[in-house]
Amino acid sequence: MGELTEKPILFQQVSKEDYIKTLLEKHHTSEAFANALTEMLTAIGNGLHDTEPRTEASTTPTTIKEWMHEHLVYQLK
């Protein structure tokens, strides 16, 4: 995405506790939402979406880069 938008992408990994604290204090979410979102993102990071093998029938020929160029980049520039 950084290449397509010509803008730097910054990423900083934080602990689950710090993420939940930020959701609660800065985004005013409920504790239940903060915990559920953290659990979901942890599951995704642990391979949740890798449970089914990618096949020609289940996978689009469009690359993520092509999709971003067609649908996202113009909104970010």
pLDDT at 53: 84
Q: Are 23 and 33 in contact (CB under 8 A)?
A: yes
**Phi-psi region at 30: left, alpha or beta (left = phi > 0; alpha = psi -120 to 50):** beta
Per-residue pLDDT of the chain (77 residues; tens, 9 = 90+): 888 888 898 999 999 999 999 999 999 999 999 999 999 999 999 988 888 888 888 888 898 899 998 888 878 76
Instruction: Choose among 11, 12, 16, 14: nearest CA to 34.
Output: 16
pLDDT for position 49: 82
